[in-house]
Amino acid sequence: MNHARSCALEWHETLPGLCVREKLKETRAAKVMDNFSWNIRVMKGQTELLKSTTIQCQEHLKQIHEVATASGLVTSIESSL
């Protein structure tokens, strides 16, 4: 996701030139730029959300493993596998 966002940011720099080349009117070009910028911000937000969710999931899995070991559902030998 970070790679896609960085590629989009690189492409964002060439977008005004593409709008001129495609002979978009100023208002339409501004709308294209705004929409593209919005999409990049959404990608950033989704990337941050995914990262925090991954961290939370790892913590939950760790807690589940600790509870299973403490309650005897999993022996310490099995847990190391």
pLDDT tens string 8-61: 888 888 889 989 999 999 999 999 999 999 999 999 999 999 999 999 999 999
Spatial distance between the Cα atoms of 16 and 34, rounded to a whole number of angstroms: 11
The full set of domain ranges for the chain reads 2-79
Q: Which two tokens stand for residue 76?
A: 């310490």
Cα-only R_g, the chain:
23
Say what the pLDDT of residue 51 is.
Answer: 95
Say if residues 69 and 63 touch (Cβ distance below 8 Å). no
- At a CB cut-off of 8 Å and minimum separation 6, what does 62 contact? none
The pTM score is 0.69
